[in-house]
Amino acid sequence: MSPAPTASTMNQTINFFEMFCKKYLQSLCIVLLFQACSSTQSPESSLPVKDRSAGQKYVQNKGTELAKLPSGISRYVPAEWSDLPNWSKEDLDEVWWLLMHNCQSPPQGWLALCPDIHKLILATSLEQRLWLEKHFVPYQIQTPQGNKRGLLTAYYEPILEASLQPSNLFTVPLYARPYGVLPGATWYSRQQIETLEEPRGVLSHKVIAWIESPIDQLQLHIQGAGRLRVKDKEGGEKYYRIENTGSNGHPYQSVFRWLENRGVKNVSWPGLREWARNNPDKVSEMMWSNPRYMFFQVTRVEDFVGLVGPRGARGTPLKAQRSVAVDTRSIPLGSMLWLSTQSPWFTTHRVVLAEDTGAAVVGSVRADIYIGSGGGAGWLAEKINQPSELWVILPRVP
C-alpha cells in the first residue's frame, strides 16, 4: 500500500498545468483555457446570471460603491486592498483567466468592465493589479453580529470504476431522472426507491451506469458529480462524466450527523467507509437517514485533461481551487471573492469565484472549495474542515 500523498504533493499535482502555462505559454494558455471552458458551456450558461438579490437593501460606502446586503444573514464591511492577506502576492495570470471566464456570464456591474478585461490580458501584472484596484472594491463578509470567521470545507470530483451493464461486481445503479419527476416536486424517498416495486419499476429503464459500492453512490449523491472509468471488451478505457440533474425533492439530511449521534468518532468519508465495512448490516439504515436521492446525466469525456471540472449551479465549469460553493442568501453566484484560510493541510490566500451551491453549504461566511478530480483531490478535500475569512470584491460604481 503506497503512503498517503502529502498536501504539498497534491497541490503540485492539481496545479501542474497552471504552472506549465505560467512558465512556458502564459497568455496563450490563458486564452486556450478560456476558449475550452467556453466550448463546454450549455446554451443557458451564456445568459446573464439571474440577480438573486433583487429587492434586497443596498448601502452606500465611502461614496464609491453600492454593496448589496443579503437581508438578515450577513453584512458587507468596507475594506482596503491591503486588508486582504497576501493580496500583493496573488498570481494575476490566473486571476485574469478567472475574470475572462466570469465575463462569459457577467454578474451585475461587470458588463461595462469586460472589454477592458479582454484588452488587458497581455498587460503586465502591475498594470493588471492597478486596474483591478481602481475598478473594484473589497468588502469583508461578516455575520450580522460582526463575526468575520466562517467555515471552509472542500469537495471534489471522484473517479469511479463502472460498467454500462450489471454484473456480480457492479451492482449499484445510477439513474437518470424519470419522466414526470419535475424540479421541486417530491417523489419517493431514498428508502422507498430502494425497497418499493413501483419506483424500482419506473427506474429500471433509467439506469445510466452501474458502480460497485453503495457508499460510492451516496458520495456521488452528495458531491453531485463524478467521472466514471469504464473498461471495454478489448481492455481499453472510456471516461464519462456524470452530473446531477435534480433530486427526488426531499431535504438533505446529514449521514455524518446520523453517525455522530450514534457515537462514531471519525465522521469523515474515510471514517464512514470504515464504519460501513464493520457494520454491513446497518449500511442501508444509515443511507436511508438521508431521504434525498439524486438523478444524473452522462456525457463522454477525454481523460487527458482534468482542468475543466463539472458544471456548478451557475452552469459554468468548475476550476480546481478557484471555484467555491456558497450560500446564495449571503453571496450571489458569480461573485468574485478573496479566500483566506490556513491549516496544516491547506493554506491559501487567493481569488475564487462563487460558482456552485450545496445543501450543506449554509451560513454567512461559508464556502466549500472545489479541489479537482480523482483520488488525490479527494484525499485533500476530505482533510479540509477549517476556519476561513471571505471578502467579496465588487465593481466600483463610477
156-301 is a CATH 3.40.640.10 domain: no
Q: According to DSSP H, which parts of the chain are helical?
A: 7-14, 16-20, 27-39, 92-102, 114-119, 125-135, 190-195, 197-203, 214-223, 255-261, 269-278, 283-288, 374-383
Residue 220 per-residue DSSP state: H
For the stretch 286-312, pLDDT in tens is: 999 999 999 999 988 875 455 578 888
Bridge partners of residue 243, in order along the sequence: 225, 297
Cα–Cα distance for residue pair 169/183, rounded to 1 Å: 33
Q: How far apart are CA 170 and CA 209, in angstroms?
A: 9
The pLDDT tens digits for 325-384 are 999 999 999 999 999 999 999 999 999 999 999 888 999 999 999 999 888 898 999 899
Residue type, 177: R
What pLDDT, on a 0 to 100 scale, did the predictor assign at position 184? 83
Query: Where exactly does CATH 2.40.240.50 map onto the chain?
Result: 156-301
24's CB contacts (< 8 A; 6+ apart) are: none
CA angle 358, 322, 60 (to 5 degrees): 80
Enumerate the CATH 2.40.40.10 domain ranges in the chain, comma separated: 7-154+307-395
Q: Longest Cα pair distance anywhere in the chain, in angstroms? A: 67
- For 91, counting Cβ atoms within 10 Å of its Cβ (0-12 exposed, 13-18 middle, 19+ buried), the class is middle
Q: Which residues of the chain have pLDDT under 50?
A: 1-67, 304
In this structure, the number of other CB atoms found within 10 A of the CB of residue 147 comes to 11
- Domain 7-154+307-395 fold is Barwin-like endoglucanases (2.40.40)
The Cα 388–Cα 366 span in angstroms is 8
Q: What is the pLDDT of residue 207?
A: 96
